[in-house]
Amino acid sequence: MSPAREAGCSGVVAGERRSAGMTAPLFLLDDLSGDVLVLTGPEGRHAATVRRVRVGEAVDLADGRGTRASCRVLELGQDTVRLSVVSRTVEAPPPLRLVLVQAIAKGDRGELAVELATEVGVDEVVPWSAERCVVKWDGARGERALGRWRSTAREAGKQSRRAWHPPVGHWVDLPELIARMAGATTFVLHEQAQQPLATVDLPGAGEVLLVVGPEGGITDAELAALERAGGLPVRLGASVLRTSTAGAAAACVVSARTARWA
C-alpha cells in the first residue's frame, strides 16, 4: 500500500502532522481496559516511527470487536506509545448485517476484494471455493492464503478507522454455502440477471449475503442450486465488474439504500 493510499483520501502522507478537522489515527489493541494503555510491537512501532505521533496528540485505539478508546499520547519510545484514555465507547453492530461471500481469486485479487469490502463496511467475509475458481485452497497452502485474507481485513479495518473488523471465516464449498444461507437474504451477483440490486426489496434487519463468483463466472448448476436455496440473482448495472470489485460495489448499493449509511 502506497503512503498516499495509507493516509486516506485526504492525500496526507503518513508521518506528516495532521491538520485540523482530520480524524484521529487509529491503532489496534486487543485489550482496551484501564486508564493508561500501551502500544507495543508492530502497532507501537507503526505509531511511533511511521505515523510519528506526538506527545499530546489525539489517537484512537480499537479492538476490532466494537470498542473504541479515544486517547492522548503520554510518552513515546522507539516502538512503544503510552496513552491516557479520554473516553471509551462500544459501538453497536448494525441491525442489518452484510456478509460478502467471495469466490477465491488468483493472485492478489482476492485480497483486494477483502480490502475494498472491509473499507466500505461489510461485517463478515466468507471465502467460497466455486467450481471455476482457478486457485483451489487446500491444506497448508489454503491456510496461508486464508491468513493473508484475515490480515488484509484487519489492516483495512484499521485504515478505515473501523471499530468492528469483519471476521474472515474458513472457506466453504457449494453445499456449505447453501447451509450458510439459511435464515439470510441472499443476492447472487450475475451479469445475466434481470433485476438490478438497486431495485430489490431489502430487509431492515437480519443478514444479507452478497455472493460474488470467480472471474470465470458462476456455473449454471451453481446458480440453479443457489436459486433453489432461496438466492436471488441480481445485477449491478450494464458494466461487468471484476470479482475483486463487485462485492464492494454491491455492499455500497445495499448500504446506501438502508440505515447502514443513514
Are the C-beta atoms of 113 and 157 separated by less than 8 Å? no
CA separation for the pair 132, 107 (Å, rounded): 15
Measured CA to CA, the distance from residue 83 to residue 229 in angstroms comes to: 50
pLDDT in tens, 208-235: 999 999 999 999 999 999 999 999 999 9
Q: For the chain, which domains are there? A: 3-90 (2.40.240.20), 96-261 (3.40.1280.10)
Q: Which three cell numbers stand for residue 99?
A: 456478509
Q: Read off the C-alpha cell for 56.
A: 499530546
Residue 93 CA to its chain's centroid (Å): 14
Q: Which residues of the chain have pLDDT under 70?
A: 1-22
**pLDDT value, residue 14:** 33
Yes or no: say if 111 and 245 are a contact pair by the CB < 8 Å rule. Answer: no
Strand pairing report for 124-128 and 67-76: unpaired
Position 41 scores a pLDDT of 93
> pTM above 0.75?
yes
Cell numbers linked to 190: 450475475
Q: Kindly write down the DSSP assignment for every residue of 175-219, as one continuous string.
A: HHHHHHTTTSEEEEE-TT-SSBGGGS---SSEEEEEEE--TT---
What pLDDT score was predicted for residue 188? Answer: 98
The pLDDT score that the predictor gives to residue 1 is 40
How far apart, in whole angstroms, are the C-alpha atoms of residue 114 and residue 248?
8
